[in-house]
């Protein structure tokens, strides 16, 4: 009887070992299907954002038209190089340029420098998030450095999706 139990234990161990080796193809296929996109697809994107935090950094009224809880929508293009136009990430009306960006393998970050009409100083948004082939999401933290009152820190949650091709001659398509 003792010998039969040993054989049973060995057979059970062998069966478990074989089961652990099987089915790898399905797991590998699932991992490949979930692999991050290498780059963002060119085209027209619609981005929705919500102001989740807004606070003065100089104890004055923040120099923005936005308020905590505001929801906005904007459309602009991602160029053939996979980089978004600054209009997708900036506050409406700011004139921005992307100073540095990393958009690779599903991760996305961009730092911008912006100017605001009627204000002397800088608006500095920074975006961190993730992307798939035709969508991205994340958060944008903006800090301002004005020469007069109104400095603030703001965080916006953003989510964007590709909605079509860029219109021919669209200035936003060339930006970024």
Give the pLDDT confidence of 74-126 residue by residue, as tens digits. Answer: 999 999 999 999 999 999 999 999 999 999 999 999 999 999 999 999 999 99
Q: pTM value?
A: 0.76
Instruction: For residues 102 and 112, give the distance between their C-alpha atoms in angstroms, rounded to a whole number.
Output: 12
> Which domains are present in the chain?
2-33 (no CATH), 43-168 (2.40.128)
Indicate the burial class of 113 (C-beta count within 10 angstroms; 0-12, 13-18, 19 or more).
Answer: middle
Question: Rounded to whole angstroms, how far apart are CA atoms 97 and 143?
Answer: 15
Supply the pLDDT for residue 168.
79
Q: What is the rounded distance in angstroms from the CA atom of residue 167 to the CA atom of residue 76?
A: 10
pLDDT single digits (tens) 42-57: 999 999 999 999 999 9
Closest CA to 65 of 117, 122, 126: 117
């Amino acid at each position: 009887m003792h010998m039969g139990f040993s054989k049973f234990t060995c057979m059970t161990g062998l069966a478990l070992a074989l089961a652990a080796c099987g089915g790898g193809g399905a797991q590998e296929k699932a991992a490949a299907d979930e692999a991050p996109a290498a780059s963002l697809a060119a085209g027209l994107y619609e981005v929705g954002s919500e102001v989740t935090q807004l606070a003065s950094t100089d104890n004055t009224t923040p120099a923005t038209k936005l308020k905590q809880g505001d929801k906005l929508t904007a459309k602009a293009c991602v160029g053939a190089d996979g980089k978004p136009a600054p209009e997708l990430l900036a506050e409406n009306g700011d004139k921005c340029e992307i100073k540095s960006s990393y958009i690779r393998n599903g991760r996305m970050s961009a730092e911008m420098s912006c100017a605001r009409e009627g204000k002397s100083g800088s608006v500095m948004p920074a975006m961190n998030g993730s992307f798939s082939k035709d969508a991205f999401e994340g958060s944008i933290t903006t800090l301002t450095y004005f020469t007069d009152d109104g400095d603030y820190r703001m965080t916006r949650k953003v989510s964007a999706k590709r909605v079509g091709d860029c219109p021919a001659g669209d200035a936003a398509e060339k930006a970024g």
